[in-house]
Each structure stands twice: as structure tokens, then as C-alpha cells.
Amino acid sequence: PIRSGSRSSKTFKPKKNIPEGSHQYELLKHAEATLGSGNLRMAVMLPEGEDLNEWVAVNTVDFFNQINMLYGTITDFCTEESCPVMSAGPKYEYHWADGTNIKKPIKCSAPKYIDYLMTWVQDQLDDETLFPSKIGVPFPKNFMSVAKTILKRLFRVYAHIYHQHFDPVIQLQEEAHLNTSFKHFIFFVQEFNLIDRRELAPLQELIEKLTSKDR
């Protein structure tokens, strides 16, 4: 039964939809089809003749939606009390700054941090000058650096879920879903060198475990 009034009864943030009939929609369908083959290394490769920016854009939107859903399942366990700081294990703590509204990094609880983070990502994805949805509208020169920042930050949500909330993930039987999503994400960022190795350190062992079987 869905408890009304609880955050888990609704998706954490509204899903970002790629317009049907658009080229990006076709790319998303292609991505989904190749994922079905089970070979994630192949699935993340740039399809022949496609634009790298567009491929990165479509997949970034898709990862945002996936992480949104995954985090949405455990929001009841991620509270001001349980997670007073945004961390990924004892060695890694994140402070929030977006460079515009909050210039100096602030220490905040994990739910607050993730709310800031996902709202910030959503604002980027909704910005037509950054993520053009219309055919023929070019991507801006700084697109890749923005995409890298988005993916670096989305990684932190995976890292927090794995380190602080893995038990509820197992109880909810979401473990396979989380692992597949994260593995897809890691293969993608590795393929195009989108996240600095240092940033991946909190989940290094897991990354090695998940990717070693598919070399």
C-alpha cells in the first residue's frame, strides 16, 4: 500500500522525457535495444555515424531518470537523522556548491544535498541552449564539460546509495536493478572518459568487481 504523504509515494523528481519522434528518441530506443543484448560494453559505444554530443546527451538524461527512480525507492531511509552529512563511506564527504546560487560549498544532509543536486541537473537538462531537443540546433561549445559535471555529480548519488543504504536496497529486491544501472553508467563514462578516476574512488572496488567479468 502506498502511504499518502510519504515521499516514496511519488517519484523523487519528475522524469525528463525525450520527445517522441525526435532523433534523440530514436537514439534512446537504440540504446535500450542494445542494452537488451546484455553486452554493456557494446551498448555504450557510439552508434555509427552519430554525433557524440547527442549520444552523451541522450544517455545523460537516461541516467538521470534511472538514478531518480533508484533514489526514489530509498528516500524513506535517507533522512536528516540517518544521513546528517552527504557521504560515501567514512572517507568521502561531499559539500554542495553549484557555482551560481551557492558559490561556497556548504555542508548539508544527504537528502538536502541530493535534492540540490537533482534539481541542479534537471535545470541543466531543461536548458534548451545546453541540451537542445530540436533537430539541427547545435550543442554549445561547453557541452562536454557540463555533461562531465552532471555525470560526476550523479555518480555521488550511486556512491551514497551503495555506502549508506545498501541494506534497504537488498530488502526491496532492487539490488540487481541498482547493479545493472551502475554498471551501465560506469561502462559509459569509461568509454568516453567522462569522470576522473579520483572521483570514482569511493566505489573503486565495486567498479573493479562489476567490470572485471566483461573485459
Binding-site residue numbers are 78, 83, 160, 165
Residue 102 to residue 86: CA distance in whole angstroms = 16
**38 to each of 119, 128, 175, 189, how far by Cα in Å?**
31, 33, 17, 18
CB atoms within 10 A of CB 93: 12
List residues forming the annotated binding site for Zn(2+): 78, 83, 160, 165
User: Could you tell me which residues come within 8 angstroms of residue 72 by beta carbon, excluding any fewer than 6 positions away?
Assistant: 8, 10, 11, 12
Q: How many residues does the chain have?
A: 215
Q: How many Cβ atoms are within 10 Å of 127's Cβ, its own excluded? A: 12
